[in-house]
A and B are shown apart, each in its own frame.
Chain A
Amino acid sequence: KAGVTQTPRYLIKTRGQQVTLSCSPISGHRSVSWYQQTPGQGLQFLFEYFSETQRNKGNFPGRFSGRQFSNSRSEMNVSTLELGDSALYLCASSLEPPRSSYNSPLHFGNGTRLTVT
């Protein structure tokens, strides 16, 4: 069974540009979450989608947005990039919204490393 797939693996952008990251969840998984990982702030929750609806959103500015498609694939977009957006962006999927299932941990992809110059 294929795991969570994130593309691209690496991205280099300049300040002010915008970027779109893609995530394909494990087959059958309908919940997709996004996290930002940086050395200083650790892992921070961005948002969670289930059945094409955003169910939860973390404390990030509106420049960060996402969506989920009918096949559960998800994209996140960051507009007007800032240097501080440089990070590893991780996508995770689970069978159901995690709380509804007692044995539904998050399954993470390998991440997209974004560098903003």
Chain B
Amino acid sequence: ELKVEQNPLFLSMQEGKNYTIYCNYSTTSDRLYWYRQDPGKSLESLFVLLSNGAVKQEGRLMASLDTKARLSTLHITAAVHDLSATYFCAVQNTGNQFYFGTGTSLTVIP
């Protein structure tokens, strides 16, 4: 079974700082997704990464995918409070199943 590991599980960072969340997965896949979940809310799609070397950016968030290393990163630039949420990566296998990471709970401190 495909395993997806995220780290760190918890991240507390000051406003204005940069940080990276890592997502490692165990078997070959060329489709990786990032989602955001606010407390009590559902998951919101952030990025879809479909090939090796893919890079997507939206505001202060940038996601990348290295399929050879089986690694995706979500980089946060100059964090602001509004980015506080739980971030999940998800890897899709050839059978259409999504496997989610454990999530990274991000708290941005003023």
A residues near B, CB below 8 A? Answer: 4, 33, 35, 42-45, 48, 55-56, 58-59, 90, 92, 97-99, 102-103, 105-111
Asked if B42 and A106 make an inter-chain contact with CB atoms under 8 angstroms apart, the answer reads no
Stretch of B14-22, B68-76, B77-85, B93-101 that contacts chain A: B93-101
Asked if B96 and A98 make an inter-chain contact with CB atoms under 8 angstroms apart, the answer reads yes
Across the two chains, which residue of chain B brings its CB closest to A40?
A: B102
Task: Tally B residues with Cβ within 8 Å of A.
Answer: 24
Task: From the candidates A43, A56, A58, A102, name the one contacting B88 in the complex (CB within 8 A).
Answer: A43
State the CA gap A108–B44 with chains docked (Å).
Answer: 7
State the CA gap A109–B94 with chains docked (Å).
Answer: 24
B50 at the binding interface (Cβ < 8 Å): yes
State the CA gap A14–B110 with chains docked (Å).
Answer: 43
B33 at the binding interface (Cβ < 8 Å): yes
Asked if A56 and B97 make an inter-chain contact with CB atoms under 8 angstroms apart, the answer reads yes
State the CA gap A103–B56 with chains docked (Å).
Answer: 13
Asked if A42 and B102 make an inter-chain contact with CB atoms under 8 angstroms apart, the answer reads yes
